[in-house]
Amino acid sequence: MTSRPGLRWEESLFGVEPRWTCELDIKVVERIASEALALPCNATFFGQGAFNRLYHVVQYGNDAASGGYLMRVTLPVDPQFKTLSEVATLAWVRENTSLPVPRVVAYDSSHANELRFEWILMEKMAGRPLADVWGSMTWARKEELAADIARHSAKLFSRRLSGIGNLYFATGLDNFTDRTESSNSQKCEAARFVLGRIVSMSFFWGNHFTYDIPRGPFDLGSEWLSARLQFIRLDCEMTIRESEDKDDIEEAQKTLPVVKRLTKAIRLIFGEEKSTISTVLLHDDLSMHNILVDEDGKLQGIADWECTSTVPLWKAARFPRFLQGSHRAEKPGRDGYTTDEGGENLFRIHLLEYEQTQLRMVFLAEMERESPDWVRVFQSSRNEADLDAAIENCDLHNLARKMICEWLDELESGKQPESLIKRFLQ
């Protein structure tokens, strides 16, 4: 198995988290960017994610407001494959949709460089995270944005692929070397794509990277779900075997029977899948932080395409992350809440839930016009979506396991279960 230099995993309250074992030299970032752009550049720290650090790169002498580029340096959580897939995915999206995504200028999918980490240099998109301007947006603009995202989602849903995995350039899997795209992106747009192994957090997080479990591409949805359950089962077995924490051992012992029942539920719901299923590319984190808008709330870009996989239609036919939330039919009035900080926060939460409830109807109405097929799949695949949510949450805590077991009781009895996802949101 490929080594992961520069990365260590640290225990935290919520499990293991990735950490950098060495600091990055911003002067090296500037040198690499200057060479790739053939321009003298300045770099400043821009932000960081779970396993990335971002630097804003501008031509020497220009200020930050001039746009410029972003260099994202990444920990080797899934060496080479994560970078190669993200670059190919962005190219595929630019070629096959009208979604505003950044153009990749250069990248290195190995750690054999002066920086000692993989990196991608891309154009910096205009706009601010939706979360920054949501409170000042008019209701009409929020409705327009929900409809706009629906239209883009419908376009993605219409671009059918086969199998579950990640996109790569056809030539990219044979030779892991650095590549620089031409300024007119002709090579990128003309590239042929292939579906390869999946790049997903549940497949590389912590010890998961070392487990001998299939990583795709998967022909069937049941194979993909079964692989994810295998990771949870092996985690539980390792905890029971090696942990000295009684609480952790008890949690693992409670989770294992649920994993066994969920394995049987896959067969109940999917039956005998016989041929490679139709899939679509899904950005499954369209949150308010990854949707970029202008000051009025008009869509400017979609960020964070790493770990974006092709998934079954039933997985893709769901509301985007920024519209997910508890159902709230009545608009809350400010008078019904206390004037302290706690009351203010609760009012904002309830107001957001109400707005999300209304905007889900806007999104669905637009989908009925743009993609009746999406609506059909959305309405007919509740059990598949609930099973996916059960697998995602079965090792979290007692309450989640209780809800999952109640859902399994109904499923195993032959009834149509009440929505598990709705139970989670209540």
Task: Report the mean per-residue pLDDT for the chain.
Answer: 92
What's the half-sphere exposure (Cβ side, CA atoms, 13 Å) at 380? 7
pLDDT of residue 154: 98
Whichever domain contains 35, its CATH number is 3.30.200.20
State the pLDDT at residue 173. Answer: 64
**Residue 20 lies inside a defined structural domain of this protein:** yes
pLDDT of residue 396: 85
Residue 426: the pLDDT is 81
* The model's pTM: 0.91
Q: Please give the residue range of the domain that contains residue 121.
A: 7-127
Domain assignment of residue 137, yes or no: no
Asked whether residue 121 is assigned to any structural domain, the reply reads yes
Read off the pLDDT of residues 293-324 as tens digits, 9 standing for 90 and up. 999 999 999 999 999 999 999 999 999 999 99
Does residue 103 lie within any of the structural domains? yes
Low-confidence ranges of the chain (pLDDT < 50): 1, 176-191
As for how many domains the chain has, the answer is: 1
Handedness of CA 33, 191, 94, 53 (dihedral sign): negative
In a domain, 244, yes or no: no
What pLDDT is recorded for position 61? 67
The answer to whether residue 270 sits within a structural domain is no
Is residue 67 one of the residues assigned to a domain? yes
> pLDDT tens digit string along 91-119?
999 999 999 999 999 999 999 999 999 99
In a domain, 32, yes or no: yes
In this prediction, residue 176 carries a pLDDT of 43
pLDDT of residue 64: 61
